[in-house]
Structure 1
Amino acid sequence: MNAIELAAEAAERGDKAGEAYWLHVQKTVDQAPPLSPEQISRLRVLLWTEPEDLSAAA
């Protein structure tokens, strides 16, 4: 889910504060500069991936 979808869900529930929060999050993200290739590679290390089954590799 992204911030726009979460804001829409909050609006459906009548949660004005939640909607405003998620719209603010989206605005902040939109203003951020793009990540450099070095930042992307550093972040990839932190992302969870499913471990490979190494028993079939041998």
Structure 2
Amino acid sequence: MDAEQLAAEAAARGDKAGEAYWLHVQKVVDQAPPLGPEQIARLRVLIWSDTEPRSQAA
């Protein structure tokens, strides 16, 4: 689900503050520069994925 969808849901509920918040989030994200290869590699290490095997700590 993205910020635009969340804004639409808030608007449907009549939540003007929630709609404004999510539209602001979308605007900020749209203005951000693209991530570089090194940033993407770092994020891949930090983001947990259920498809990857989990290590068993002893």
Give the TM-score taking structure 1 as reference length.
Answer: 0.85
1:47 Cα offset (Å)? 1.1
Number of residue pairs matched? 53
Q: Hey, what's the Cα distance between the residues in 1 that align with 2:53 and 2:40? A: 22
In structure 2, the partner of 1:26 is: 26
Provide the alpha-carbon RMSD of the alignment: 1.4
Q: Hey, what's the Cα distance between the residues in 2 that align with 1:52 and 1:33? A: 32
The structure 1 segments of at least 4 consecutive aligned residues displaced by more than 4 Å after TM superposition are: none
Unaligned runs of 5+ in 1: 54-58
Q: Percent identity?
A: 75
Q: Hey, what's the Cα distance between the residues in 2 that align with 1:36 and 1:15? A: 36
In structure 1, the partner of 2:5 is: 5
